[in-house]
Amino acid sequence: MSNDYVVTANDNLADELSRVGERDSVVRAWVTRHDDEKIINAFKTAPDGLLSGWTIGVKDVIDTFDLPTERGSPIYKHHQPVSDAACVAMAREAGAVVTGKTVTTEFALFTPNMTTNPHDSNRTPGGSSSGSAAAVADRQVRAAFGTQTVGSVIRPAAFCGVVGFKPSRRLLPLAGVATLSHTFDTIGWFTKDVADTATMFQAMTGSRLPEKDANHKVGRYLSHQSDSVAPETLGVIDDSCAALEANGVEIVEVEPLPHLESVFEAANTILHYDIVRVFAWERTHHLHLISDLVRKMFVNASNIGYDDYLQAQDLLFTARLAHQEFMAANQLDALLTPSAPGEAPPIKTTGDSVFNRVWTSLGVPAIHLPVRLGPTGLPVGIQLTGRHWCDKELLATAAHVESNIIES
């Protein structure tokens, strides 16, 4: 946590509240919010801790005892949970003040919702953690929780130009978080920089980052989807690699990894098999309140049998082991890879998760770092993906990368 922020916490709070006042009608990051007076009072009475002086937004699939949790669906309109999700309770215990619930797509899937990209209201903020990424990018809140099942943290972080972090799968509890896929769901968050993400990580796990950075070896990885990489993304990746090499980081080129080739499709099979079961209640009681896009997913899912599912799980497990061995054998701390094809597309979609699904499926930690604005003025950055359970090491690598590449 940067000390100057604590010292000037009240000033920052005033700035954030006025940003919301000015910008909320355009950015539309919030489903529900406490009124300013309540936030100011909460700020005064919050416990002392690692997150003292922090405001946080909470994606509206994550329970809060004092604000409804609607999951982006009319089925849960005005639904008020009785308790906080575990991650929210931990953040409050560490001193953070929850200011409101941020917009999610329906059930954290693909249907766009009302939030716009803070850099251009005709572009998508990405999804499904749309409001969380946009609110942090627009400086309406210090940090925000999101969830990632396919690409729902990294992609909106990329489109909005903030740091987005998805820890190793199942490191953090999903208690009080609405399920999308019990196989893939992961809690993550958005902050302005890596230092803040490291502080949040400490609040959640009890662990500080290593004091000294180890030597860093990073693989440049364009993946099997390299055809989708826009020139501005390629430019940022190449410039980042050059800046890192100039600062003593070893960069190696990594060709598309054969063990990852079928992961995308296998993950899709598992996701579909999962959601038709996860949403058994919503399907059987409220089908008319579910969007066409999601209903179509249910129909597609009904073609996926148990044996397909087992085959996909088997493929994924083999890929996880192979990837673990590959990273260890090559002594790689991280892969530097696209977060998204390019700048945020127009607002009628939430963009393409083609560069996210594989890492979520492997369960490895991933972080997005914003680098600069692209040709149309929207943010472009890079993704770093690490080894499973090596979250601390990935954050240390990210801090090193950030200090060497971010243009001021």
Binding residues for its own copies, rule: CB under 8 A, are 65, 76, 79, 82-90, 92-93, 170, 172-176, 178-179, 182-183, 204-207, 274, 277-285, 305-307, 310, 313-314, 321, 389
Q: What are phi and psi of 34, to 5 degrees?
A: -70, 155
Distance of alpha carbon 392 from alpha carbon 148, whole angstroms: 19
Cβ 152 to its own copies shortest distance, Å: 17
Cβ 305 to its own copies shortest distance, Å: 6
Output 82 or 246, the one with its CB closest to its own copies. 82
Output 65 or 264, the one with its CB closest to its own copies. 65
Output 231 or 317, the one with its CB closest to its own copies. 317
Determine which helix (DSSP H) or strand (DSSP E) holds 123, and give its type and residue range. none
Percent composition of the chain: helix, strand, coil (DSSP 3-state, to 5)? 45, 15, 40
Output 7 or 321, the one with its CB closest to its own copies. 321
Output 227 or 281, the one with its CB closest to its own copies. 281
Cβ 254 to its own copies shortest distance, Å: 24
Cβ 149 to its own copies shortest distance, Å: 13
Output 291 or 403, the one with its CB closest to its own copies. 291
Output 178 or 366, the one with its CB closest to its own copies. 178
Cβ 47 to its own copies shortest distance, Å: 9
Output 168 or 339, the one with its CB closest to its own copies. 168
Helix ranges (H only) for 106-147 are 130-137
Cβ 165 to its own copies shortest distance, Å: 16
Output 124 or 149, the one with its CB closest to its own copies. 149
Distance of alpha carbon 91 from alpha carbon 176, whole angstroms: 14
Omega before residue 52 within 30° of 0, cis: no
> Is 301 in a helix, a strand, or coil?
helix
214 class by beta-carbon count within 10 Å (0-12 exposed, 13-18 middle, 19+ buried): exposed
Q: Quickly list DSSP for 27-53.
A: H--EEEE--HHHHHHHHHHSPPSTTTT
Contacts of 38 (CB under 8 A, 6+ apart): none
- Cβ contact 62:147 at 8 Å: yes
Beta bridge partners of 146: 188
Residue 308 token pair: 């397909």
Length of the chain: 408
Residue 323 token pair: 């990837």
**Nearest residue to 110 (alpha-carbon basis) of 340, 289, 297, 355:** 297
> Is 371 in a helix, a strand, or coil?
strand
104 class by beta-carbon count within 10 Å (0-12 exposed, 13-18 middle, 19+ buried): buried
Cβ 79 to its own copies shortest distance, Å: 6
Cβ 44 to its own copies shortest distance, Å: 18
Location of structure tokens 């296998």? 266
Cβ 215 to its own copies shortest distance, Å: 21
Contacts of 283 (CB under 8 A, 6+ apart): 276, 290, 298
Cβ 284 to its own copies shortest distance, Å: 5
Output 38 or 242, the one with its CB closest to its own copies. 38
